[in-house]
Amino acid sequence: MKQKIAAYIDEVSVFKADNLEQLEQFRLKFLGKKGIIPALFADFKKVPPEDRREMGQLINSLKQAVQKKIVTLKEELESSGDTTTTDLDLTLPSEAPLGSRHPLSVVRNEIIEIFSRIGFNISEGPEIEDDFHNFTALNFPEDHPARDMQDTFFIEKDPDIALRTHTSSVQVRVMEKSQPPIRTISPGRVFRNEAISARAHCIFHQVEGLYVDEDVSFADLKQTLFYFAKELFGENTRIRFRPSYFPFTEPSAEMDVSCNICGGKGCNICKYTGWVEILGCGMVDPNVLEACNIDNKKYTGFAFGMGIERITMLKYQINDLRLFFENDLRFLNQFRSAY
């Protein structure tokens, strides 16, 4: 080992570099993580105790010789003005790109701000839910397709525990713990067993809203959502309601807005109709209020739920939902100026 170190010291003493690239290769050879000197220190533990003092001094002498050689040659190359060298200082740490808010976070915060202006607070809940809060309390019948394995991610060995399929489960928890008036929105991540495509994903984000009080009507629901859509997409946005069905609301509707990606001409996002459905809504079913111990004779309410991804696609004219999950800097850098 002594002879090996002596040979390395001789190699260092006669080394010359014509440019900074060669000098960097020399540095990596001796001082890099997998270089000669780290390897010598790793082998040092095998040296007999009586020889460790001498071997340690030799290794340190080699390290000092390498460091001195690097400093000396670097000064010589920089002072000579060598045009073949790079302008970069290879000894500096790399510069990480400045981060920015993800477009989904930008839109999520904007939605929260809009509803906060009209008195809605924020409520959150667990992403792993039990059957009661995710299905039963929301009036899902026992044979509903959403309870099947092909639609829901159930936790192994426990058929009553699953990844939540909507943030409506948060609304159930809010109604269990408080009495009307209730006015809240529940933003969060949800999971459904769906094929990944330009329009769907197995993980996505929702914002669901709930308002329960005396004399709440469908007209209150419509005016609330009209206000929301105009604030988010602009005054020129066209809006329409279509009858629909959800187990936890009756009557139920879906709300569409005019597609601003194609200007109403038709594209793959709006299925060539000129309209995009952004949310489902309706009056809270009396059975849901009863399951949460709220007097359904005295109180009524409305609920709505929307996917943040679809709204973000409309707002920023993005035609493939998968882009949100790929962490591609070329895509994310476009939102650097967004708040």
- Residue 108, pLDDT above cutoff 80: yes
Span 269-286, average pLDDT: 88
Look up residue 148 and give its DSSP letter. S
Kindly indicate the confidence band of residue 83, based on its pLDDT and cuts at 50, 70 and 90: very low
Q: At what angle do helices 218-233 and 308-316 cross, to 10 degrees?
A: 40
**339 has a pLDDT exceeding 60:** no
- pLDDT value of residue 249: 94
Calpha distance 75→91 (Å, rounded): 13
Contact call for residues 228 and 115 (beta carbons, < 8 A): yes
pLDDT at 82: 52
The mean per-residue pLDDT over the stretch 93-121 comes to: 86
DSSP H or E run through 231: helix 218-233
More confident residue, 298 or 20: 298
Given a cut of 60, whether residue 207 has pLDDT beyond it is yes
DSSP 150-184: TTS-BPTT-TTEEE-SSTHHHHHHHHHH--S-EEE
Q: What is the DSSP string of 129-143?
A: EEHHHHTGGGT--TT
Highest mean pLDDT among 54-58, 157-161, 178-182: 178-182
Q: How many CB atoms lie within 10 A of CB 161?
A: 14
Cα separation, 184 vs 208, whole angstroms: 8
Residues in the chain: 339
User: Domain-by-domain residue ranges, the chain?
Assistant: 2-80, 103-335
Residues 81/29, Cβ–Cβ less than 8 Å: no
CA distance linking residue 37 with residue 11, whole number of Å: 13
User: Considering only CA atoms, which of 31, 6, 40, 7 is closest in space to residue 23?
Assistant: 31
C-alpha 280/C-alpha 7 separation (Å) is 77
**What CA–CA distances, in Å, run from 241 to 66, 251, 252, 254, 269?**
75, 12, 10, 6, 19
Contact 173, 293 (CB under 8 A): no
The reported pLDDT for the residue numbered 127 is 92
Q: What are phi and psi of 262, to 5 degrees?
A: -110, 0
Bigger pLDDT: 263 vs 36: 36
- 122 φ, ψ (degrees, to nearest 5): -110, 135
Average pLDDT estimate for 309-313:
88
Please determine, looking at this structure, whether the domain spanning 103-335 carries the CATH number 3.30.930.10: yes
Instruction: Answer whether residue 193 shows pLDDT above 60.
Output: yes
Q: What is the pLDDT of residues 221-240, one digit of tens each?
A: 999 999 999 999 888 888 99
* 115 class by beta-carbon count within 10 Å (0-12 exposed, 13-18 middle, 19+ buried): buried
Cα 183 to Cα 287: distance, rounded to the nearest angstrom? 19
CA angle (238, 240, 241) in 5-degree steps: 160
Q: How many angstroms separate the CA atoms of 17 and 40, rounded?
A: 24
More confident: 336 or 82: 336
pLDDT beyond 70 at 131: yes
Q: Average model confidence (pLDDT) for the chain?
A: 86
Confidence class of residue 100 from pLDDT cuts 50, 70 and 90?
confident
Beta-carbon neighbour count of residue 121 at 10 Å?
12
